[in-house]
């Protein structure tokens, strides 16, 4: 972004993950992962909010800590991690991105598959 925003700006773009720039980790009871995303015209370093990672992994950090104590259940967590990795590699969707001037990176706050309604809305905008 060319200007220095004073307030939080939220945009929605169709993007994909170019590379994960950090390992999946947890701190303060939340999942963290950093990535470089692209819409095909530019690149952006982002972090993903905990809710997205929970939905991809299938478990929150507190749930994972409980699962560690039970080997059979912990296997489900490991499978969730593998699924998350596959999903991130293949991720190409509409991403809602929040730019907060007080943070160093933009945050991906929501993921949404592209559907027919989105395509129709784009066609309407082009035909105006």
How do the domains of the chain map onto residue ranges?
Answer: 9-55+91-126
pLDDT at 125: 84
Strand partners, 66: none
pLDDT at 4: 63
Q: How far apart are CA 80 and CA 54, in angstroms?
A: 10
What separation, in Å, do the N-terminal and C-terminal C-alpha atoms of the chain show? 26
pLDDT at 3: 58
Which residue's structure tokens are 């943070």? 103
pLDDT at 71: 85
By CB atoms closer than 10 A (0-12, 13-18, 19+), residue 21 is middle
What predicted TM-score, i.e. pTM, was given to this entire model?
0.84
Please count the helices (runs of H) and the strands (runs of E) in the chain. Answer: 4, 7
pLDDT at 57: 94
**The domain 9-55+91-126 is classified under which CATH number: 2.40.50, 3.40.1350, 1.10.3470, 3.30.70?**
2.40.50
Q: Are strands 34-38 and 43-48 parallel, antiparallel or unpaired?
A: antiparallel
pLDDT at 2: 52
Q: How far apart are CA 12 and CA 74, in angstroms?
A: 35
Averaged pLDDT, groups of 10, the chain, 128 residues long: 74 95 93 96 96 95 90 88 90 95 92 88 84
């Amino acid at each position: 972004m060319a200007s220095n925003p004073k307030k939080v700006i939220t945009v929605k773009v169709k993007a994909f993950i170019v590379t994960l720039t950090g390992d999946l980790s947890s701190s303060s009871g939340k999942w963290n992962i950093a990535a470089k995303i692209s819409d095909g015209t530019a690149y952006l370093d982002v972090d993903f909010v905990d809710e997205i990672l929970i939905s991809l992994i299938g478990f929150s950090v507190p749930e994972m800590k409980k699962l560690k104590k039970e080997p059979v259940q912990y296997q489900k967590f490991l499978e969730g991690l593998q699924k998350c990795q596959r999903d991130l590699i293949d991720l190409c969707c509409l991403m809602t991105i929040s730019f907060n001037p007080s943070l160093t990176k933009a945050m991906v706050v929501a993921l949404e598959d592209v559907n027919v309604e989105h395509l129709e809305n784009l066609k309407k905008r082009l035909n105006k």
